[in-house]
Structure formats: structure tokens, C-alpha cells
Chains A and B, each alone.
Chain A
Amino acid sequence: MNAPLPGILADNPMLDRWVSFPAPGKITINTGRVEIGQGVLTAMAQIAADELGVAMERIVIRSGDTDLTPNEGYTAGSQSMQAGGVAMRQACADVKALFLAQAATVIGCAVSELAVRDGSILRGGKPTGQDYWTLASAVNLAVKATGGGARKPMAEFKHIGESAERLDLPDKIFGRAVFIHDMKLPGMVHARVVRQPNRGATIDKIDEKAVARAAKAKVDFVRSGNFLAIIGDDETAVDLAAAAAANAVTWTNVETPTALQAEASWLLQRPWIDRPFGAPAGEPQGRERFEATYSRGYLAHASISPSCGLAEYRDGHLTVWTHCQGVFPLRGSLAKALGIDASNITVRHVQGSGCYGHNGADDAAADAAIIAMQMPGKPVRVRWRREEEFVYEPKTSAMVVKVHTQLDDGGKPVDWTQEIWSATHSNRPGAGGILLGAVALPNSMPEPPPNDVPESNGGGATRNGEPLYDIAAKRMIHHLITEPPVRTSSLRGLGAMPNIFAMECCIDELAERAGEDPVAYRLSLTADKRARAVIEKAAAMAGWNPKEPGGTGHGRGIAFARYKNRAAYAAVVVELDVAEEIRLARVWCACDAGLVINPDGVLNQLEGGVIQSASWVLKEQVRFDTGAAAGIASFDWETYPVLRFSEVPEIDIELINTKDEVPLGVGEVTAGPTAAAIGNAVSHALGVRIRDLPLTRERIMATLLKA
């Protein structure tokens, strides 16, 4: 009896969806996971090369294509290795088993006598004249996976666990046309969308002459309901026309958010739905109580490239090229929005820049599809404008997190309630979320009912809302805000960052009350060996000194989390200086990610997570404005600053325990601990706690004045 198939393989059991042998010496593997800068394709190639017993160079990868690859939903949630990699591994093991069985028949021996070396079949260590490609025509891969193929023992790995150079990087370093932005289709037109400001806004007037004058070349309008686009052969003209349209097209029923609504505290006045989790509300247990409230504002994904999509509608079939994270869910959503059958739509992934979650990619693809449907036979390329990306991409919800604790005689928490105010983190098309352009169509795409990522998937606002620490009673109350002022959806780690920031800052506050060192205090709260190991390791790397005095302007802080309480472990120590602004001096991180496929790739992801989180904490908040420029006031890199080269500290990272069987994703594990470690270090440096993010100069000055 075989073990149950990995979930993704059970969903996509046909082996020929995963592996094929198209030409001598080459093996094609298909993955539903897509490259978003995290190096997933390289890691998949490492897995396939090991399980099939071939050199990396033999592997050709296709990814994210509704016609070709397995349906793996979204490339998100640090699940690519944990779910997709495990499925790929078993699929390859099953394929190898089928080939060995066929080889045994051809050679006339037992399977147990055979082995594979770089695709060649060996018997007793000697060549047999057979290889994958001589056998391929006789091996039927149009069969279901059984899970019966023996996976290679870890001791025999040649590729898994060794650092591999990223397969996709050289093309980017040499400036090749690898991004979706670089795609050109014959006869393609360029398009820009004149965005409907909000649901229900209607086009009042279009001054076509003013737009044409600005374009200085021929452009045309494409309109369907309140969806309006400008198309033309010349990209510059289309850009100029789109810029002019900001004034030349007027709208009615415009609603814009106000400055006050940009603050997390505004959520406390909104309607919400209560979602309680964990221990029932019990009798007060502890002798003392401690409560503190933390917050973070709305953040943008702020991808470096504005979103782009291409589409062509020809002979009743729609083909869409996109850099979104889930080609299958997008296909389903497009089918609904456009009223055509999903079998008549192909969605193909092409790389874009890093997205870090649900940015404008799906919407740009839908824009291109909407326009293409109106002009059959003509390929359409939509590229969002910079301000369009900032203003119209989904934001991560502002969050307020109030921690209620009850403490025992030793000042340790025995009862922990994390009360969370947040709008949804789940608005992807596959979760019922809208496609922006489709809202403006005559048959306007409806708003989904308020929901959030199921807790079985790690939760959205509740992600990491429960401490991993040994605390007798733990509970969460999520107040799901039903009417946020902007569309909210998934950003790297979802609610994990604000929850861990609140929790791990609160742990430091409790340690201080108990008169204990933050490292020792944390260790006293957990018996989890892997948790203890990363905390101890990070402290050792940083040369943690419990006696280092605080309030000197120089500070250090530590924080810890296990992502989703069931994935990778990370502890981060931050050292910094605070004058009027915060200057990060050094960061140390220890991570336990289980079985590591590509160590250098993991280090790259962990470090990226540290830096992005530092940027969120020190600089980032989406601002709204009132008055003449009403609306979202963060619309470019000056109004939404991010961390720059000279602000990035040196970072040391160590991986521990890479020997487990299960790989754990790492893209999101460092964000929460980094945020809280910065918060704790600032408190140590100043002797005053700042509980609201971002930690801007204004906030620091205001806190110091109050203190």
C-alpha cells in the first residue's frame, strides 16, 4: 500500500502533465509554479534532476500554462517547495519507476539490478545500451501517478541541498528580452486604460480632441460601459494620450478615501464581523494583566515594474499572457467576467518583476483580454502606468492588533488573546475577488462577500496571530472589517507581519516587566527544540549581551516566529542607532527551513525578506489625501519611498537543520521577526516603546517629545 499522494499530485495525477521526453538527451518538466524572482524554477530542476537521476542541463522547464502544466493554484504562501516541490519529486520518482520496469523487461532482468546514471540505465553498475530516450516510446506516461516510485534517499542527493546558480539570472544580467514587458506579437497594438476611479463611477465626458492633440499621432478609444482604453501603434502616443485623459475624461459618482482613513486606527470605527478562534473565554487566571495595542497602515506591493498583460482573441479562442501568480484561477475568473467558456481560454505565464503577492498583474491581464475581445485577430499589450500601479493595485490591509495577557507570579503569560482588526487578505480572482477592468463593464463583476484566507491555509488576518509559545490559554478574535476604504488583498506573509510585530514586541514588554533578558525570557516560554535552536543561534551570531544598557540611542532587539506556526522557523537580531531617524547597523538571522533544496537561493530569499520588511517598518505607508488631489496620495517613488542601497545594513544569515525530509518555504518567514526585532531594538535604544508602524522620523520625534 503506497502512502497517499502529495495533494498537488493527487489533483494532477497524469504523469505526462509533469514529465516528458521530447528529444534525445532532454527531459521536459512542467510545473504549475511560476518564477517571481524567488528561484523556484531552479529548485524544481534540482528536484527533478535528482529524482530522475540526470544532470541539471538535461532539464527543460515549462511553467504556468493552462494548456500544458499541472494546476497548482497560486504560487504563494511559501508553498512552492512544501507542496509543489514534494509533488514534483514524487511524480519524477513514479516516472523513473515506470522506465526501470520497462528496462527490466527489455533487458530481461530484475528491476532491483538496475540503476540510472544521467539518464542511462545501468545493470550492476555497467551500461546496458538503454536509456530514457531509447525506452521512451514504449513507456506510457499517460497514466496516473501511484506514489509507488521510490524517492531517492537523502544520502544520494546530488543536486538537492547543493547551491545551484539560478537558471533565469544570466538572461536578466545580460539584458535579454525575458520579461512580459519585452514581448512583441506581430501586429500588436499598445493600450492604456483610463481607469474607472471606483465601482459605480460613470464616464461623464470624453474630450477626444484634447486627447488626440496630446497624442501627436493616431490613437483610438475602446469603450465598453465604463471601461475605457486608448490604443494605438505608437507606445509614446498612447502614453501621452493616457496622461491627457486624466483631465480630458471626466467622471461622475467619484468616491475618494480621506486622509484619516489611511490610519489603522480608523478601522476601529468600522462595521466588522467577529471571527473568534482558540480557547473559550475563561476565568481570569493570572495575578496581573498586561495589554498593549499595536498597528500598521496600508502597504503597497510597489513592484518595480508596473503590471503588464497581453491578449489575443482569434477564431473564438482567447490567449492571455500574464505575470500573475495563478494562471488557472485567472482563467476561471476571466471566463466568468467575459462570459466565455474556460475551455476557450489559454493563460500563459511570462515573467514580470517581483510581485510579493496580489499586485496589478491579474488586472492588467484582464484589461488586455477585455480590449482584445473587442478587436478579434489583433494582439493587445496593456502596460500600466507607474501611478496606476500604486493607486489601483490591491493594498495589504491596515491592521490594529491588541494583545491581552494575564501573567503568573513569575511574570509569564498564562492567557493570551490577540484581538485583530483587519480587512481581508484574500481578494485574488481565484478566491472570488474582482478583476478591476471587469467592474467597469456593462455587466459589472460583483463584489465578493467578505471573507478571508481559511485558517486551514494559514489564515489571512489571523496568520501567526497565535503565539507558538507554551501558554495555557491562547485565543484570537478577528474583527473582519467589511468596508475598507481601498481594495485589500495578499501581500507577502499576509497578517503575519503585524501579528508577529505585536506579539514579539509584547513579549519584550513582558520580559522587561519581569526584569528578564528578552532572549532568556523567550527560551523560558518554549520547549520546541527547533524554536530554541534558532533563537539561541541568532543570539550567538549577534554576540547578544543581556547586560547591554538601553536608552543610549544605540539598541539591539530580537524576535522570533515560526511562519504560520507550522512552516519555517526564524529568529532575527537587529542592531541600530536612533537619532531623529533610525539607522540599521547590522542584522543577524538564523533559520530552520527543513530540507533545503538550494541553500544559496534560500539565503537570497531570507535576506530579501529582511530588507523588504525593514523597508515596510521604517518607511512605508500608503497615504490618502483630501482636497484637490483627493485620493491615494502615494503614487510614485517619492510619495511612497522604499529602502535604498545606502540604508540597507549588512546581514548575516545561517541555516540550521537542513536534514529534515520536508522542505519549508522561506519567502515570508523573516518579515515578521525582522519587524519586531526593529521595534524591540528601537525601544531598547530610546527607552520608549513605539507601537505604531511605520517608525518614521515624525513618529519618533512625537514619541520622544511625549516621553
Chain B
Amino acid sequence: MTQTFNFTVNGKPVSVALANEETPLLNVLRNELGLMGTRFGCGLEQCGCCTVLIDGKPEKCCAKPLWSVAGKSVVTIEGLGTPENPHPLQQAFIDEQAGQCGYCLSGIIVSAKALLDKNPSPTRTEIAAALDDNICRCGSHNRIIRAVQKAAAQMRAGAAS
């Protein structure tokens, strides 16, 4: 039996009708809504590649059933910014060349956004702790931490002006 679930993705209301209400949100984003920015890494909620914001909180969505997000607000990497209008985090990641293969970056940038939303001036230790659920295998950690620090500074400056 097909059921319909309503929620918002990147601010837009969506309605998804699926037979299996247990379908992971990640598969819905990628296969039903065509949003490929949220990546599959493990399907076990261990690596953080699939991190999205659900009602503002960073959550891994590779094992999150569709029914559990009904009525909620989902924000993905595509919802942060565009090349024309980048989020300060995205600009800082480009400025710092923070990445190698880039597969982990969507989840990391989303996790960093959640951090900066509640802590505009995080220390290196706080940034590292906030990103500990996200695995980077290439070893871009220090560049990523510098990019988050830079974005935080820019966002503070933006808020102050």
C-alpha cells in the first residue's frame, strides 16, 4: 500500500508516496527527489557522509525511515548555497581548498553548519569534537578545521556589520 509523506526539503514542501515507509531518507533524497549531494557511505549511521539537518539538528539519514521525517524540515548540502550565492562555509572550504576526494564534504559542511548555528565562535577543539562523527579518509582534517574557523569569523563579521 502506497502511503504519502509530507515534509520540507531546503524550505520547499515535498510530498513523497512510497510503498515502503521504512525507506531511508537518504534513498528518498537521492532516488526520488534527485538530490545527489547527500552521499551514501555506510548505511549504518557511522561515517557521517549522509548528514543532513532535521529540524535544525545534524542527523545521519542513511537509516532514518521516511515516516520519521513526516512534518519535519530537512536541509541538505544543496540547501546551504550555490556557486553564485555560496554559504560562508562553502566559500571558506573553497578558499582553504579543504578537501581531497570530497566525498565526505557534504556531511561535514552540514555538521559544521549545525555547530556554527549554536556556537558562532568555536575553538579548534570544539570544531574537532563537532566533526568527530564525520569520517574523512583522505586526511583533509586540518584544512577543514581551518575552513570552519574562517567561515565562523566571516559569519561573525557579517552579523556584526
A residues in contact (CB < 8 Å) with B: 36-39, 165-166, 168-179, 181-182, 216-217, 234-237, 239, 302-306, 351-354, 356, 383, 385-386, 600-601, 604-605, 607-612, 615, 636-638, 642, 644-646, 648, 650-651
- How far apart sit A545 and B121, CA to CA, in the bound complex (Å)? 36
A637–B106 touching, CB < 8 Å: no
Which residue of chain B has the shortest Cβ distance to A607 in the bound complex? Answer: B139
B160 at the interface (CB under 8 A from A): no
Contact with A along B2-32 (1 / 0, CB 8 A): 0000000000000000011011100100110
Query: In the complex, what residues of B have CB within 8 A of residue A170's CB?
Result: 83, 94
Nearest 3 CB-CB pairings of A with B:
A175-B37, A37-B101, A172-B102
- How far apart sit A642 and B132, CA to CA, in the bound complex (Å)? 11
B94–A169 touching, CB < 8 Å: yes
A237–B20 touching, CB < 8 Å: yes
Which residues of B (116-139) have their CB < 8 Å from a CB of A?
125, 127-129, 131-132, 134-139
B149 at the interface (CB under 8 A from A): no
Known contacts A174-B86, A637-B42; is A650 also within 8 Å of B105 by CB?
no
- How far apart sit A178 and B103, CA to CA, in the bound complex (Å)? 10
Q: Of A175, A354, A638, which contacts B106 at CB under 8 A?
A: A175
Q: Of A38, A169, A354, A648, which contacts B128 at CB under 8 A?
A: A648
B97–A165 touching, CB < 8 Å: yes
- How far apart sit A168 and B103, CA to CA, in the bound complex (Å)? 12
- How far apart sit A170 and B91, CA to CA, in the bound complex (Å)? 9
- How far apart sit A645 and B109, CA to CA, in the bound complex (Å)? 14
- How far apart sit A165 and B83, CA to CA, in the bound complex (Å)? 15
A354–B100 touching, CB < 8 Å: yes
B39–A638 touching, CB < 8 Å: no
Query: In the complex, what residues of B have CB within 8 A of residue A175's CB?
Result: 35-38, 76-78, 106
Known contacts A37-B101, A166-B97, A175-B76; is A386 also within 8 Å of B41 by CB?
yes
- How far apart sit A383 and B97, CA to CA, in the bound complex (Å)? 29
Contact with A along B71-87 (1 / 0, CB 8 A): 00000111001110010
Q: How far is the CB of A201 from chain B (nearest CB, A)?
A: 25
Among the interface residues B43, B78, B102, B143, which one has the most CB atoms of the partner chain A within 10 A?
B102
Q: Of A181, A239, A604, which contacts B100 at CB under 8 A?
A: A604
Known contacts A173-B109, A637-B44; is A353 also within 8 Å of B129 by CB?
no
Q: Of B19, B35, B99, which contacts A173 at CB under 8 A?
A: B99
Query: In the complex, what residues of A have CB within 8 A of residue B43's CB?
Result: 239, 385-386
B97–A646 touching, CB < 8 Å: no
B128–A611 touching, CB < 8 Å: no
Q: Of B103, B125, B129, which contacts A354 at CB under 8 A?
A: B103
Query: In the complex, what residues of A have CB within 8 A of residue B152's CB?
Result: none
Q: How far is the CB of B34 from chain A (nearest CB, A)?
A: 8
- How far apart sit A24 and B131, CA to CA, in the bound complex (Å)? 46
B153 at the interface (CB under 8 A from A): no
A305–B36 touching, CB < 8 Å: no
- How far apart sit A615 and B141, CA to CA, in the bound complex (Å)? 12
- How far apart sit A352 and B39, CA to CA, in the bound complex (Å)? 11
Q: Of B76, B86, B141, which contacts A648 at CB under 8 A?
A: B141
Of the A-B pairs whose beta carbons lie under 8 Å apart in the complex, a sample of 29, sorted by A's number, is A37-B100, A165-B97, A166-B99, A170-B83, A172-B103, A173-B94, A174-B77, A174-B90, A175-B38, A181-B39, A216-B19, A236-B22, A303-B137, A304-B49, A305-B41, A353-B101, A353-B104, A353-B137, A604-B143, A607-B143, A608-B140, A610-B139, A637-B42, A637-B44, A642-B137, A645-B128, A645-B131, A650-B142, A651-B142
Q: How far is the CB of B7 from chain A (nearest CB, A)?
A: 17
B155 at the interface (CB under 8 A from A): no
B37–A38 touching, CB < 8 Å: no
Contact with A along B31-57 (1 / 0, CB 8 A): 100011111111110110100000000
A386–B44 touching, CB < 8 Å: yes
B94–A165 touching, CB < 8 Å: yes
- How far apart sit A560 and B144, CA to CA, in the bound complex (Å)? 27
Query: In the complex, what residues of B have CB within 8 A of residue A604's CB?
Result: 97, 100, 140, 143
- How far apart sit A182 and B30, CA to CA, in the bound complex (Å)? 8
A354–B37 touching, CB < 8 Å: no
A353–B103 touching, CB < 8 Å: yes
Secondary structure call for the B interface: loop
Which residue of chain A has the shortest Cβ distance to B89 in the bound complex? Answer: A173
Q: How far is the CB of B140 from chain A (nearest CB, A)?
A: 7
A179–B142 touching, CB < 8 Å: no
B residues in contact (CB < 8 Å) with A: 19-20, 22-24, 27, 30-31, 35-44, 46-47, 49, 76-78, 81-83, 86, 90, 93-94, 97, 99-106, 109, 125, 127-129, 131-132, 134-145
Among the interface residues B23, B83, B135, B138, which one has the most CB atoms of the partner chain A within 10 A?
B138
Among the interface residues A178, A236, A600, A650, which one has the most CB atoms of the partner chain B within 10 A?
A236
Known contacts A304-B49, A305-B49; is A636 also within 8 Å of B42 by CB?
yes
Which residue of chain A has the shortest Cβ distance to B41 in the bound complex? Answer: A304
- How far apart sit A638 and B144, CA to CA, in the bound complex (Å)? 23
Query: In the complex, what residues of A have CB within 8 A of residue B144's CB?
Result: 645
Query: In the complex, what residues of A have CB within 8 A of residue B101's CB?
Result: 36-37, 172, 304, 351-354
B139–A217 touching, CB < 8 Å: no
B141–A612 touching, CB < 8 Å: no
Which residue of chain A has the shortest Cβ distance to B86 in the bound complex? Answer: A174
Q: Of A181, A306, A601, A644, which contacts B132 at CB under 8 A?
A: A644
Query: In the complex, what residues of B have CB within 8 A of residue A610's CB?
Result: 139
Query: In the complex, what residues of A have CB within 8 A of residue B102's CB?
Result: 37, 168-169, 171-173, 178
Among the interface residues B43, B82, B137, B144, which one has the most CB atoms of the partner chain A within 10 A?
B137
Q: Of A36, A173, A178, A607, which contacts B142 at CB under 8 A?
A: A607
Q: How far is the CB of A492 from chain B (nearest CB, A)?
A: 11
A304–B94 touching, CB < 8 Å: no
A646–B77 touching, CB < 8 Å: no
- How far apart sit A417 and B13, CA to CA, in the bound complex (Å)? 69
Query: In the complex, what residues of B have CB within 8 A of residue A178's CB?
Result: 102
Query: In the complex, what residues of A have CB within 8 A of residue B31's CB?
Result: 235
Q: How far is the CB of A670 from chain B (nearest CB, A)?
A: 10
Q: How far is the CB of A232 from chain B (nearest CB, A)?
A: 12
Which residue of chain A has the shortest Cβ distance to B78 in the bound complex? Answer: A175
- How far apart sit A288 and B83, CA to CA, in the bound complex (Å)? 66
Q: How far is the CB of A311 from chain B (nearest CB, A)?
A: 19
Q: How far is the CB of B92 from chain A (nearest CB, A)?
A: 10
Q: How far is the CB of A43 from chain B (nearest CB, A)?
A: 13
Q: How far is the CB of B43 from chain A (nearest CB, A)?
A: 6
- How far apart sit A356 and B103, CA to CA, in the bound complex (Å)? 14
- How far apart sit A234 and B24, CA to CA, in the bound complex (Å)? 12
Known contacts A604-B100, A607-B142, A651-B142; is A177 also within 8 Å of B36 by CB?
yes
Query: In the complex, what residues of A have CB within 8 A of residue B104's CB?
Result: 304, 353
Which residue of chain B has the shortest Cβ distance to A39 in the bound complex? Answer: B100
Query: In the complex, what residues of B have CB within 8 A of residue A168's CB?
Result: 102
Q: How far is the CB of A433 from chain B (nearest CB, A)?
A: 23
Query: In the complex, what residues of A have CB within 8 A of residue B20's CB?
Result: 216-217, 234, 236-237
- How far apart sit A385 and B93, CA to CA, in the bound complex (Å)? 29
Query: In the complex, what residues of B have CB within 8 A of residue A642's CB?
Result: 135, 137
Q: How far is the CB of B111 from chain A (nearest CB, A)?
A: 10
- How far apart sit A181 and B72, CA to CA, in the bound complex (Å)? 27
- How far apart sit A239 and B131, CA to CA, in the bound complex (Å)? 28
- How far apart sit A305 and B129, CA to CA, in the bound complex (Å)? 23
Q: How far is the CB of A655 from chain B (nearest CB, A)?
A: 15
- How far apart sit A65 and B110, CA to CA, in the bound complex (Å)? 34
A37–B138 touching, CB < 8 Å: yes
Which residue of chain B has the shortest Cβ distance to A354 in the bound complex? Answer: B101
- How far apart sit A126 and B148, CA to CA, in the bound complex (Å)? 48
- How far apart sit A387 and B93, CA to CA, in the bound complex (Å)? 31
Query: In the complex, what residues of B have CB within 8 A of residue A304's CB?
Result: 41, 47, 49, 101, 103-104, 135-137
